[in-house]
Amino acid sequence: MEPWIDMIQIFKQTNFDFLGKKWYFIGLSWLLILAGIVSVFYRALDGDPNTTPFNMGVDFSGGTLATVKFRESPDLGKLREALASQKIDPTGISLQPVSDRIGQAPANEVLVRLPNLVHIEQQAGQSATAAQSKEGADIGKQKILAGLAAFNDPSTQGKVDLNTNGVDDLREALKSRAGLESQKAGDVAQRIVDYREKSSNGLIRNLSEVKNLSGVDPQIGDAIDKNFFAGFASVKSVEAVSPQVGADLRNRAVYVTIVACIGMLIFIAFRFKSWGFGIGAIIAVFHDVLVTLGIFSIMHWELNLTVIAALLTLVGYSMNDTIVIFDRIREMLRSRRRETLEKLSNDAINQTLSRTVITSGLTFLTVCAMLAFGGEVLKSFSWCLFIGIIIGTYSSIYIASPFMLLWEGWRGSKRKATVSAPLSSEETVSTATPATAGGVTTQMLAAAGVSTKPRKKGR
């Protein structure tokens, strides 16, 4: 009676020999890591300041990142010139048009990236983060605004731009130029800005839009015509970071990643009562981080704080996969003592294959949803996870287990001479199991201190 045969199954009892071919895959990993390292050095040493090893976000390198919205598709060359005229080194300016989303009006937005323009004064003995700035971090934004003025019609000289001023400045301008009294001026200014931000997607295209707003009487409309204009561009959002902050965040990112990994190593070694498992897991995690960073270098995706968050999530996720396999190995160690660790590991991987593929697949699907629909801000984050999940799953099979085996094998062979494993009362008495060539028996593990006794629990 097998009423459950109609289960839908991807993997029925599989028996792939994963670990047999492990050296090929370890070799593949080395290749990937090498490719990443080559990319880093190539970009760093080619003498071209435009290509940096990593595409560091402003979070780490300092500088300015602004989203500038234009009335119509802008001439990037002209924009670059306009910015360069503000005494910014043109090779440091990066302009990237924002891709249009399907089914929506063209955004006409450009991501403007400026290098760090702030000079800092670092006194002897002072850390980089406590150094004093000569200018504010917003110097980049001021220069962008000044440069954007070049796009406006010369006839607008002397008038106030409705697109680049905030409520307070507009209110003051309405008071002084249009003669409005304070309360009314404030009200009109607020309406204009609300319209600009909430209804017009950040840019007013035409003065007539503003004159039609409720609360704007005809004579105010006239005054607006005379004294204001709708600029060609507006700055929708800004991220400006001073070099001290960049240095601080860089240090913290590295520090935390390393500490997190060490923390995991200790946790796993403790849980599985053997360094081998911990080492295997940690090497897998380091491998994941290195390969992912390498690919980021090759593809030149932006490296910012959210990517570091993704990286740390990845570390946790890769650990998950590895732990599932190790848990299974540990469970099998209790019942199948005579077999080599390698065989047990292989079987464990096969048994958990179904779960591994399904979970990775499902998480992968959610990441794909993020990549497709998540927008610009989450792009780098999504890519990091996209690669990370693939690499993480792969490493749990082909990096964690083999290195764990290597370590245990090394430990086991060191202890070979002194094997006299105490048999637990639940084992049948047998002669000492011969160690298979290159393999590790559970006896050896017991001698090495790995707990293989079954848990004395009910059920």
Please tell me whether residue 238 binds other proteins under the rule CB under 8 A: yes
Please tell me whether residue 459 binds other proteins under the rule CB under 8 A: yes
What's the min distance (Å) between Cβ of 138 and other proteins?
5
Q: Which residues contact 127 (CB under 8 A, 6 or more apart)?
A: none
Give the separation between CA 273 and CA 449, rounded to whole angstroms: 8
What's the min distance (Å) between Cβ of 165 and other proteins?
8
- Where b means 16+ CB within 10 Å and e means fewer, 246-278 reads bbbbbeebeeebeebbeebbeebbeebebbbbb
Q: Tokens representing 306? A: 């959210």
What's the min distance (Å) between Cβ of 321 and other proteins?
9
Count of positions on this chain that bind other proteins (CB under 8 A) = 88
Name which of 79, 223, 243, 99 is nearest 145 in CA terms. 79
Please tell me whether residue 122 binds other proteins under the rule CB under 8 A: no
Give the separation between CA 335 and CA 329, rounded to whole angstroms: 10
Nearer to other proteins, 40 or 275 (CB): 275
Nearer to other proteins, 52 or 313 (CB): 313
Give the three-state DSSP class for 160: strand
* Touching other proteins, residues 386-445 (CB under 8 A): none
- The one-letter amino acid at 151: F
Binding part of the chain for other proteins, among 258-266, 402-410, 420-428, 437-445 by CB under 8 A, reads 258-266
Q: Which residue has the tokens 């599989």?
A: 14
What's the min distance (Å) between Cβ of 4 and other proteins?
5
Please tell me whether residue 209 binds other proteins under the rule CB under 8 A: no
* Touching other proteins, residues 324-343 (CB under 8 A): 324, 327, 331
* Touching other proteins, residues 13-32 (CB under 8 A): 13
Candidates 40, 83, 249, 349; binder of other proteins (CB under 8 A) is 249
How many C-beta atoms lie closer than 10 Å to residue 441's C-beta?
A: 21
What's the min distance (Å) between Cβ of 88 and other proteins?
17
What's the min distance (Å) between Cβ of 340 and other proteins?
22
Candidates 81, 225, 248, 339; binder of other proteins (CB under 8 A) is 248
Give the separation between CA 329 and CA 364, rounded to whole angstroms: 25
Q: Which secondary structure element, helix H or strand E, spans residue 132, and what is its range? A: strand 132-133
Please tell me whether residue 284 binds other proteins under the rule CB under 8 A: no
Candidates 377, 414, 424, 436; binder of other proteins (CB under 8 A) is 377
How far is the CA of 240 from the CAs of 15, 201, 244, 451, in angstroms? Answer: 55, 22, 12, 54
Please tell me whether residue 373 binds other proteins under the rule CB under 8 A: yes
* Touching other proteins, residues 134-173 (CB under 8 A): 135-138, 141, 166-169
